[in-house]
């Protein structure tokens, strides 16, 4: 779990059989340059490839590091850093319904698209900006880099979306499977409609097609929407002395961009890891309840909680369905004071026959307050802060 500021970046390796590696999100450009790149160089030296790279959704705190990675790695046939076997990323060309003939665009339409392209990915206010971030977020969308580098993208050339209906599972080497539990096709369609509405609202009048200019416009505008939604959803800081429960403060996320997050279960033999991106709690509830032969709560070997521990993305109902001895919380606390204390308390308050271990990649006000917390049920838990080295998960026999 990399130090990705207010974002996400996870590297999973499995070395009990054939060396296998998965990269889920990339944080910011500095995350890649300082942390991810040296690890990938080491893995390549050991004979690993990246069997799968996943951009969970279009948000700068998840994608900017991947932009820097694919810029640096270059062509898939002669990679500078490491071989990438497969990439998952839902962008404009993943939605076939948008592929209209563009025709001749007006001068105003061309100028608008050029301006959107020039702005690139947004950089959130309140996050320490380094020179690397400026260059990484401008110029190219992730879609353009994947096409230019000829990567195997969404089971082909990017024209198919990754969703829980069309691509429910992926078999990786030996005994590893990826089970997609989100997003649904309808969530992706909502994202496409929102982008079209945004483009029209900005004054675009022509036909919308699929090419590199529209690829860029789609990703950059979606990232701005994600940024605006995050600002609107920012809760007021709540004092730990108020003793409010998660049920008291929970309000569902309404960010369409977050709703498009790829959520997945990594299955390694009998072990299962749950990675939720920034997904909506209600969507995950539905997906978990639909799993075959499930009894609740499902005990995963590790759970990466959604949206950096936001009170808008972990519901009391979801916590009735899932549990784990290991929870991963990725956030520096910048901008939105994530994680929310009410989420952390709700995780550990539940009765349990095992001890829960909460791993934070930064020390935050909420993680510090958890050191002093006594659970309502008497369940035991441990807190690990600044946990950015390997977290070992023993596989079930």
With a CB cutoff of 8 Å and minimum separation 6, the contacts of 136 are 28, 29, 64, 65, 67, 68, 71, 121
> What per-residue confidence (pLDDT) applies to 252?
96
Name the residue among 144, 16, 32 with its Cα closest to residue 82.
32
Give the total residue count for the chain: 397
> What per-residue confidence (pLDDT) applies to 229?
64
The DSSP secondary-structure symbol of 50 reads B
48: number of Cβ within 10 Å: 19
> What per-residue confidence (pLDDT) applies to 119?
84
Where b means 16+ CB within 10 Å and e means fewer, 354-392 reads eebbbbbbbebebbeebeebebeeebebebebebbeeee
DSSP string, 82-140: --B--EE---GGG-GGG-----PPPHHHHHHHHHHHHH-S---TTS---HHHHHHHSS-
For the CA atoms of 182, 184, 190, 192, what is the dihedral angle to 10 degrees? 80
Q: Which residues, in sequence order, are bridge partners of residue 68?
A: none
CA 305 to chain centre: 10
Contact 57, 261 (CB under 8 A): yes
For the CA atoms of 369, 372, 373, 378, what is the dihedral angle to 10 degrees? 160
147: number of Cβ within 10 Å: 18
> What per-residue confidence (pLDDT) applies to 239?
44
> What per-residue confidence (pLDDT) applies to 127?
61
> What per-residue confidence (pLDDT) applies to 139?
61
Where b means 16+ CB within 10 Å and e means fewer, 189-216 reads bbbbebbeebbeeeebebebbbeebbbb
Q: 32 is written with which tokens?
A: 């890649």
How is the chain split into domains, by residue range? 98-145+157-384
> What per-residue confidence (pLDDT) applies to 368?
96
Written as tens digits, the pLDDT of the chain (397 aa) is 999 999 999 999 987 667 899 999 999 999 999 999 999 999 999 999 999 999 999 988 999 999 999 999 999 999 999 999 999 999 999 986 554 545 678 999 999 999 998 888 887 665 666 665 655 555 679 999 999 999 999 999 999 999 999 878 899 887 889 999 999 999 999 999 999 999 999 999 998 888 888 999 999 999 888 777 654 555 545 444 457 899 999 999 999 999 999 999 999 888 999 999 999 999 999 999 999 888 999 999 999 999 999 999 999 999 999 999 999 999 998 777 899 999 999 999 999 999 999 999 999 999 999 999 999 999 999 999 999 999 999 888 7
Contact 302, 326 (CB under 8 A): yes
């Amino acid at each position: 779990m990399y130090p990705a500021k207010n974002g996400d970046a996870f590297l999973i390796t499995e070395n009990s059989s054939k060396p296998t590696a998965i990269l889920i999100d990339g944080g910011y450009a500095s995350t890649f340059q300082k942390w991810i790149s040296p690890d990938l160089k080491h893995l390549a030296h050991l004979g690993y490839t990246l069997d799968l790279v996943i951009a969970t959704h279009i948000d700068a705190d998840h994608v900017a590091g991947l932009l820097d990675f694919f810029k640096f790695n270059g062509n898939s046939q002669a990679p500078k850093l490491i071989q990438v076997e497969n990439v998952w990323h839902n962008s404009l060309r993943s939605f076939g319904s948008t592929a209209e003939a563009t025709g001749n665009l007006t001068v105003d339409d061309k100028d608008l698209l050029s301006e959107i392209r020039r702005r690139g990915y947004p950089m959130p206010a309140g996050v320490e900006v380094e020179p690397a971030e400026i260059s990484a977020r401008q110029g190219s969308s992730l879609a353009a880099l994947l096409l230019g580098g000829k990567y195997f993208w969404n089971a082909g050339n990017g024209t198919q979306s990754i969703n829980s209906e069309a691509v429910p599972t992926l078999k990786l080497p030996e005994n590893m499977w990826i089970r997609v539990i989100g997003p649904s096709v309808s969530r992706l369609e909502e994202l496409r409609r929102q982008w079209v509405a945004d483009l029209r609202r900005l004054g675009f009048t022509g036909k919308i097609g699929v090419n590199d200019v529209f690829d860029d416009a789609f990703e950059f505008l979606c990232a701005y929407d994600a940024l605006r939604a995050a600002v609107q959803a920012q809760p007021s800081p709540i004092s730990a002395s108020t003793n409010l429960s998660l049920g008291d403060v929970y309000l569902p996320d309404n960010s369409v961009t977050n709703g498009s997050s790829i959520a997945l279960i990594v299955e390694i033999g009998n072990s299962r890891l749950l990675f939720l991106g920034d997904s909506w709690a209600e969507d995950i509830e539905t997906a978990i309840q639909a799993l075959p032969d499930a009894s609740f709560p499902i005990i995963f070997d590790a759970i990466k909680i959604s949206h950096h521990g936001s009170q808008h993305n972990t519901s009391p109902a979801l916590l009735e369905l899932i549990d784990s001895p290991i929870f991963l919380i990725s956030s520096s606390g910048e901008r939105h004071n994530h994680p929310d204390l009410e989420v952390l308390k709700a995780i550990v308050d539940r009765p349990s026959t095992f001890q829960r271990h909460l791993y934070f990649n930064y020390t935050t006000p909420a993680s510090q307050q958890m050191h002093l917390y006594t659970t309502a049920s008497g369940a035991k838990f441990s807190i690990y802060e600044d946990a950015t080295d390997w977290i070992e998960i023993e596989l079930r026999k």
